[in-house]
Amino acid sequence: MNGSDEYLSKTPTAGNRTTWTYSIWALRDTLSTSQCLLAGGTSGNDDTTLHFNSDKIQIYDYTGSINFNLNSTSTYISVDRWYHFLFVYDSTQATSSDRIKIYVDGTQITAFDTETYPSQNYQSRISSNSTHAIGRKHNTGSEFLDGKIAEVYFIDGQAKAPSDFGYDNGGTWTPKAYAGTFGSEGFYLDFENSSDLGADVSGNNNDWTTNNIDSSNQSTDVPPSIIVDLMSIDFNTTTRGVYIYDEVTTTITDSFAHPNNNPSGATYDGSNLITCGEAGSTDRIYIHSGISSTISDSFASPDASPNGLTYDGTDLISSSRAAGNIFIHDGITSTVQSSYNGPDLYHSGLAHDGTNLISTGFNGDKIYIHSGLSSTITDSFSTPGTVPYGLTYDGKHLLSCDYGTNRIYMHDGISSTIIHSFATPGNDASGLATTGSPW
């Protein structure tokens, strides 16, 4: 957005005005001016605004007098730096300070120059049947945002937590895909469709109107770790290849041979690649040093023919192709906390979306969505090939690979719809991992 005439606008149907959540990533190019992240109401005297008040972050409501007003003590003065802002409004709370919470990069703001909370059950102008704007004030041509925005979520009727939208990736607050429900007036703007940058992709079709915005506004400058690097493994005993890609493309930036003759699964813990192999008596799980061929540690897998690996931010999860078992490890160790028989006889791939385990197997040729880490299956759909092996989740898309077709598939979110696929560099595709993780 150019700071002078570009913005998004919408007049929604009235939603829940006592409870909502607004999540936005923003990067400013100009400081020391008021710039609007979201505003709604009928006029300047009917107004809820979430904005940069000069370089501080502020939320206020005004209807002839101030109904609530929180203005941070801290300033946010880095240009060319993405911030994640999360505004949680829940005026139903009995404790006044619980009625509005503001988080920056996952940390709650607790110091304010002005700190006035709404009365219990007070209805904000946000989510009312009135003009709303992103990137400027709703009622005047002022407070235009000079900078970029990304990953904009509005959750109608729910007070959500920072962990629903991001995670700490080695000290860097990083976006993750929201996995919950949106409410009737909720929306998600991912700005991926250059011909319709106001398109709501939540499934609600609560689209926004673009004003003086076209395809040239779309940018490749994105928040940290929305860009991820893909890693794949070949089961082939000759190549034993581990391949590192430039993002999720066909470009290979590095490759090396795996120490096991039949490498079969992969995941990433935020620092190190973790792989497994199933060559007869050497069924092992390997901890690499970073993303390299150097092995810093290894241990025996809990069952023969380990295939699937994933990591939920705390514990390693592995699966066995031999007996269809899924194992929850204690951290990244050989100790198993719990296990169960999974939904497929030949479990060949695992992923984790930040909330739920996702598994696949080539007996049923399906992808299964678990409830948390449990054996309960909440949904399933067919795989794009008939010998599914690797799974990974990059924070936005599920990726799968197939041993038979030797292709990697990018799914539309976590669904059976394939939006992109390409051939693997070697034979017998068996494992996938990405540097982007949702936990």
Cα–Cα distance for residue pair 260/106, rounded to 1 Å? 40
DSSP string, 374-395: SS-EEEEEE-SSSSEEEEEE-S
Shared fold status for 7-217 and 230-434: no
List strand residue ranges (DSSP E) for 186-335, in order: 187-189, 209-211, 230-234, 241-245, 252-257, 263-268, 273-279, 282-288, 295-300, 306-311, 316-320, 325-329
How many Cβ atoms from other residues are within 10 Å of residue 372's Cβ?
Answer: 11
Confidence (pLDDT) at 224 = 67
| Per-residue model confidence (pLDDT) at position 187 | 97
User: Which pLDDT score is estimated for 294?
Assistant: 94
| CATH node for 7-217 | 2.60.120.200
Instruction: Say what the pTM is.
Output: 0.64
* Per-residue burial over 221-259, b = 16 or more CB atoms within 10 Å of its CB, e = otherwise: ebbbbbebbbbbbbbbeebbbbbbbeebeeeeeebeebb
- At 47 the pLDDT is 94
The two three-digit tokens of residue 240, written as one number: 């034993």
Select from 3.40.50.970, 2.130.10.10, 2.60.40.10, 3.40.50.10330 the CATH code of 230-434. Answer: 2.130.10.10
What is d(CA 168, CA 348) in angstroms, rounded to the nearest whole number? Answer: 28
Backbone phi, psi, residue 164, to 5°: -75, -15
Domain ranges of the chain: 7-217, 230-434
Give the model's pLDDT for residue 66: 96
- What residue type is 50 in one-letter code? L
Of the candidates 243, 276, 272, 245, the residue with the CA atom closest to the CA atom of residue 261: 276
What are the pLDDT tens digits along the chain (439 aa)? Answer: 999 999 999 999 999 999 999 999 999 988 889 999 999 999 988 999 999 998 999 999 999 999 999 999 998 877 768 999 999 999 999 999 999 999 999 999 999 999 999 999 999 999 999 999 999 999 888 999 999 999 999 999 999 999 999 888 767 888 888 888 999 999 999 998 889 999 999 999 999 999 999 999 988 777 765 546 678 887 765 667 888 887 677 788 888 988 888 888 999 988 899 999 887 668 999 999 988 999 999 999 999 889 999 999 899 999 998 788 999 999 999 999 999 999 998 889 999 988 899 999 988 899 999 999 999 999 999 999 999 989 999 877 899 999 889 899 989 889 999 988 888 887 788 889 988 655 5
Give CA separation, 404 vs 304, 305, 365, 428, in Å.
22, 18, 12, 7
Q: Is 323 exposed, middle or buried (0-12, 13-18, 19+ CB in 10 A)?
A: middle
Q: In this predicted structure, what is the pLDDT of residue 210? A: 96
